[in-house]
Structure 1
Amino acid sequence: MRLIISMFCLVNIISCTKAQKQTEMSVNKGNSVALVELFTSQGCSSCPPADELLANLIKEYNDNQQVIAISFHVDYWDRLGWKDPFSQRVFTQRQRNYVDKLDLRSAYTPQMVVNGKYEFVGSDKSALQSALKKAQDDFSKVSVKNLMAKESNDAISVSYEIDGKMDEDQVFLCLISPKEVTSIKRGENGGRILTNTNVVLQMSEGLNNSKGTYDFKVPESKKNDLAIIAFISDKNSMAVKAAYMTKLE
């Protein structure tokens, strides 16, 4: 009888331990966020496969806040036959900042950067999967607590609040177009119809306050519903600590 009771207790202990470990794993997993940044251009013939990989990633993690993917269109391809309508100098500068921080030889397209730390050729699916796996261990003490956006007249007003202590961190806000379809007339992709997803249309400067507001201009060529993405990154290393996405109300 004592043997049976002892075995019963042992089974319970093992079961409880397993349950505790599973709970801890799920909690930890919930604290990790992967921000995937694709640097691309409609003028680059090597970029469409990366654009497609990003689109498939967004579809796979549909509204799952643990993986957020965006595309920055750089402007250094614009002089080579086709001016990308979504390209901006500020996006090129962001990529060049990564060149410095990650000790790279030069900027290139397509390039993906995950959590500001893991970079690779943007069409490399296995490298993306490896980076996402590493990002599961990127835990942070800060998170985006509240993120709301409203459109009125010609402005999109965004309010945000950060949970946790910001040390050398900055908050960036991005106005996103979930899907853009463009008929390319010239350049390396001339004659093709390209689809780009989660295209960054506008981006704020680095905000240092843990709570605040920011206004975007309503794009003149607005065709689709828009979204807002907020992410927190280290001011010095550019490592991304948290990210969150919301749709306009």
Structure 2
Amino acid sequence: MRRAHAVFLSLALLALTMSSAQAAQTFRSGPEATSLVELYTSEGCSSCPPADDWLSSLRQQPGLFKSFIPVAFHVDYWNNLGWTDRFARALYSDRQRQQAAQGQTSQVYTPGFIINNHEWRSWFGGARQWQASQEHPGVLEASLSGQQLDVHFEHGAAGQQLNLAYLGNGLSSKVQSGENSGRTLQHDFVVLDWQQFASNKTDAGHWQLTLPPVPRLGQQQTALVMWVSPANSLKAIQATGGYLQE
């Protein structure tokens, strides 16, 4: 009886260990820089849907979350012009203004692209492929178990910031007013939440965090992405991420 009980406990512990291992997710960049493809957009802007559609097309491109990460920040400065974008936040508008102030873009507008920390106006001339970064900042990796996230950046330095964002795919809105009135807009890689976390002063390049709950705005699929920024800058040094197991 005692032996049978011991075997049962061993099997139960093994099952629990296997379950925990299955539940854990890992994200890892390569040593070369992952391109952060930022789109600033709004449902109130009639010229934005083509840019949104192009960003959605990146779902089918090889290298997603490995060589590049698309993110769509919906700004709120269109909200008083006829339609309130439910994905828009003042925080994202402020981010775009700060990027302009830091010289990453020439001005604030939608649709607006920033790729590898530089304004990308070539999209408006028909370009659909950007120049990959030649930087090799080192590996950014993370392990997610439940809501606990452990992140390590190979070349961590004092003052660096970790950016975390939940992205939503398969979102749609029936626009009732404004420039896109009567249209049903489809969205992917929508930033549902974005937060920054300072590096530990005694362990630069390492973050241990409890993630906030995933925002539920009707998305069919959710991704968690992260990138490291220098102190006092919104530039991305390295990025990684992927779809969440839900």
Q: Same fold (TM over 0.5)?
A: yes
Q: CA RMSD in A?
A: 2.3
Distance in 1 of aligned mates of 2:144 and 2:122 = 30
CA displacement 1:186-209 (0-9 Å, x = unmatched): 110011111111101011124323
Which residue of structure 1 lines up, in the alignment, with residue 124 of structure 2?
A: 124
Amino acid at match of 1:88: R
Question: What is the identity, as a one-letter code, of the residue corresponding to 2:87?
Answer: F
Distance 2:159 2:77 in 1: 31
Residue 167 of structure 2 is aligned with which of 176, 188, 196? 176
* Shift, 1:38, TM fit: 0.3
Compare 63-72 and 98-107 and name the one that shifted more.
98-107
The corresponding residue for 2:189 is 198
Q: Which moved more, 1:120-129 or 1:217-226?
A: 120-129
Instruction: Describe the shift of the 1:157–1:89 C-alpha distance in structure 2 as closer, same or farther (beyond 3 A).
Output: farther
Cα offset, 1:180, TM superposition: 0.8
- Aligned residue-pair number: 211
1:22-41 residue pairs with structure 2 within 5 A?
A: 31-41=32-42
Check if 1:240 corresponds to 2:231. Answer: no
Match of 1:137, as an amino acid?
Q
Whether the aligned pair in 1 keeps the contact of 2:168 and 2:188 (CA below 8 Å) is: yes
Aligned residue in 1 for 2:12: none
- TM-score where L is the length of structure 1: 0.76
SS in 1 for 2:178: coil
2: CA distance between counterparts of 1:164 and 1:228? 21
Cα shift readout 1:157-189 (whole Å, capped 9, x = no counterpart): 544232232244211000111221111111100
Q: Secondary structure at the match of 1:124?
A: helix
How far apart in 1 are the matches of 2:92 and 2:161? 17
Aligned equivalents of 2:145, 2:79: Cα separation in 1: 32
Larger Rg: 1
Deviation track 1:76-98 (CA, whole Å, cap 9, x = no partner) reads 00001110010001111110111
Which of 161, 164, 184 is residue 155 of structure 2 equivalent to? 164
Task: Confirm whether residue 139 of structure 1 aligns to residue 136 of structure 2.
Answer: yes
Secondary structure at 1:87's aligned position in 2?
Answer: coil
Kindly indicate whether residue 73 of structure 2 is the aligned counterpart of residue 72 of structure 1: yes
Change (3 A) 1:126 1:229: same
In structure 2, the CA distance between the partners of 1:146 and 1:219, relative to structure 1 (3 Å rule), is: closer
**Gaps spanning 5+ residues in structure 2: where?**
1-29, 201-205
Cα separation, partners in 2 of 1:170 and 1:241, compared to 1, 3 Å: same
Q: Residues 103 and 39 of structure 1: is their aligned pair in 2 closer, same or farther, counting only changes over 3 Å? A: closer
Higher helix share: 1
In structure 2, relative to structure 1, the CA distance for the partners of 1:220 and 1:70 (3 Å cut) is: closer
Structure 1: which 5+ runs fail to align?
A: 1-28, 151-155
SS in 2 for 1:140: coil
Partner of 1:98: 99
SS of the residue corresponding to residue 59 of structure 2 reads: helix
Give me the whole-angstrom Cα distance separating, in 2, the residues matched to 1:46 and 1:145: 37
Q: Given the two structures, how large is their TM-score scaled by the length of structure 2?
A: 0.77
Identical aligned residues as a percent: 28
Cα offset for 1:246?
Answer: 2.3
| Distance in 2 between residues matched to 1:38 and 1:81, nearest whole Å | 22
**2:176 partner letter:** K
How is 1:101-116 mapped onto 2 (pairs within 5 angstroms)?
Answer: 101-102=102-103, 104=105, 106-116=107-117
